[in-house]
Amino acid sequence: MSFFEWGRGGGLKAAGVSSFAEYVKRIATNDPSIRKADLELEGIGDDDAEQLADALERNTTLTRLCLYLNKIGNRGATKLAKRLKTNETL
């Protein structure tokens, strides 16, 4: 189970989604309404970060990603770093 916690950072609420999984799915499908992912203070852990990294592999619309003050450890950070190397818009 992830460390995801609701309502702390405002990024998900601002995007009008009801779950982190829905947000990640929208990122993976290049939803044009999500160009900036402000996910600070959302309680994102390694499992969530890995899901997000998988979505970034296919994303071409996101231009900003903020993950400040989350609970991402080495495992999640490593996968995100690998995906960010190949993402051409972030």
Locus of tokens 């970034």:
56
Whether 16 contacts 44, CB under 8 Å: no
Percent of the chain scoring above 90 in pLDDT: 66
Tokens found for residue 15? 């995007």
Return the DSSP state at 31.
-
Q: How far apart are CA 75 and CA 61, in angstroms?
A: 25
How far, in Å, CA of 37 to CA of 45, rounded? 16
pTM for the whole structure: 0.84
pLDDT in tens, 49-64: 999 999 999 899 999 9
Which token pair is 29?
A: 């499908």
